Structure 1
């Protein structure tokens, strides 16, 4: 049987065992969230040996060259020695600038990295809490304009990270993991094309960044923003979005509750086949948006989506 080594620990594992499961069975507390290769919380570095990787494209070439792999996507085929991601050693330090509640369930977290972080609107970061809990969150801030990194945390249900975040105070230290994403972005070549931004819940966070990036780059086409929330009270950026629309007549804001969504989607009509759509939120909501856009005649290659996968 293959041998899995982590530091001084030696584990005999069955061939083709999932690496994340093997580590957990051996008592190695590697964090994870989605188990789909999306969140990147389960990064491990291969020191000797190579696992069978089901999703090599999920990591950048640079990270792969450094030996990093996603444990949830790897299977044991031969002896393997790994190092788990150490936020103190491998993460980038940041401090809490502020926390405040945008609604009863959405907590805004603002962090100041100790070293400048280069990112684009729409990307996301893995955040490590002081107690070593890792979760990916989308950036709502705008690079070059906001001095902080801003995240919108959905706290409707209990979660290991969000439970800690409720008690964060200014000055507290966190660690930043991998920066990734790119499906949600703004391309200057889109400037004259209609742009639709469809978000569910805190899926609004990255699209808020993309919206501001589009306006900063003087987007000339119409912009339509649709935000789906459980109820009216959870349209947590309503005033901010309405203020942007008041300053930019080509921006249209629609705030929908779950009960209002079917009728609103049924009325969606494309004014132009050149329309581009960016979607973000829970998989079921994104699928609902995408299906309606397809039926309305929008080509699939003009739809860009990022899913907020539920915790595994």
Structure 2
């Protein structure tokens, strides 16, 4: 049986054991969210030995060369020594620039990093609380325009990170982990094509940045934004979205409650086979959007989606 080493601890594990599970079951706390190699919350650095990596392409080559691996995607096949991501040592310091409520359940968090962070609209970033709780969140800010990094936190349900975030005040420190490019982005080559942005809940966060990026690049095709919320009070960006729609004749805005969604989807029709659709929200909402778009004739390669998974940590 292979020996697994972490810090000052060593123990035997069954060959082929998932590295994330092996560490957490032994009390070596490694955070995780998606278990699919997307969120990058479960970073560990290999010091000796090499695990079997099911998704090596999920990390940049330079990160892999430094020994970093995603524990959720690795299996222990030989003696292995690792160190877990330490936000104090490996993370980028940041401070709270602002923290306020956009709706009864959506908390807006704005952070100022120690040094400028290069990113594009639609990417997500792992945030570490002072209690060493990690959670990946999509960036809602627009690079080159917003002087902060902005995140929209869904606080409807208890969670270790969201509970800690409720107590944050301006000037409080946090740490930033891995910056990750999800499926969502804006491509300047799309300028003439119809663009649909469909979001549920705080799935609107990355699409808010992408919408403003598209408008900044003078997108000429029609843009349709559809936001689904539990109730009317949770359309937390209704006013700024309406202001953009008033200023841009090619932008159409539709705000729906969850109860109104089935009827609206039944009426959904493509305006063009060239339409591009960007979806974000819970698994069930993204599945509902995608199913209706497929039935409406949207080619699968013209649909980009990020799914938000909820965890109580």
TM bin, normalised by shorter chain, reads over 0.9
Paired position in structure 2 for 1:176:
176
Deviations 1:243-283 (A, max 9, x none): 11011111000001111111111111111111111000111
Q: How far 1:37 moved relative to its partner?
A: 2.1
Q: Which runs of 5+ in 2 are unaligned?
A: none
Q: Does the 8 Å CA contact 1:34/1:310 hold for their aligned counterparts? A: no
Q: Which runs of 5+ in 1 are unaligned?
A: none
Paired position in structure 2 for 1:141:
141
Aligned length: 312
Paired position in structure 2 for 1:247:
247
Distance in 1, Cα, partners of 2:25 & 2:308: 27
* Runs of at least 4 residues off by over 4 Å: none
Q: How far 1:297 moved relative to its partner?
A: 0.8
Distance in 2, Cα, partners of 1:155 & 1:210: 23
Q: How far 1:311 moved relative to its partner?
A: 2.3
Q: Please state if 1:228 is matched with 2:228.
A: yes
Distance in 2, Cα, partners of 1:277 & 1:26: 43
When normalised by structure 2's length, the TM-score is: 0.98
Sort the Cα spacing of 1:182 and 1:17 in 2 relative to 1 into closer, same or farther, 3 A.
Answer: closer
Q: How far 1:36 moved relative to its partner?
A: 2.5
Distance in 2, Cα, partners of 1:69 & 1:137: 20
Q: How far 1:160 moved relative to its partner?
A: 0.5
Q: Please state if 1:256 is matched with 2:256.
A: yes
Paired position in structure 2 for 1:57:
57
Paired position in structure 2 for 1:163:
163
| Counterpart secondary structure, 1:44 | strand
Paired position in structure 2 for 1:271:
271
Distance in 2, Cα, partners of 1:299 & 1:36: 24
Distance in 2, Cα, partners of 1:196 & 1:240: 18
Paired position in structure 1 for 2:294:
294
C-alpha RMSD of the superposition:
1.0
Distance in 2, Cα, partners of 1:185 & 1:2: 42
Q: Please state if 1:216 is matched with 2:216.
A: yes
Moved more, 54-63 or 7-16: 54-63
Q: Does the 8 Å CA contact 1:229/1:235 hold for their aligned counterparts? A: yes
Deviations 1:95-143 (A, max 9, x none): 0001000000000000000100000000000000011000000000000
Q: How far 1:232 moved relative to its partner?
A: 0.8
Moved more, 263-272 or 210-219: 263-272
Distance in 2, Cα, partners of 1:310 & 1:147: 28
When normalised by structure 1's length, the TM-score is: 0.98
Distance in 1, Cα, partners of 2:309 & 2:131: 23
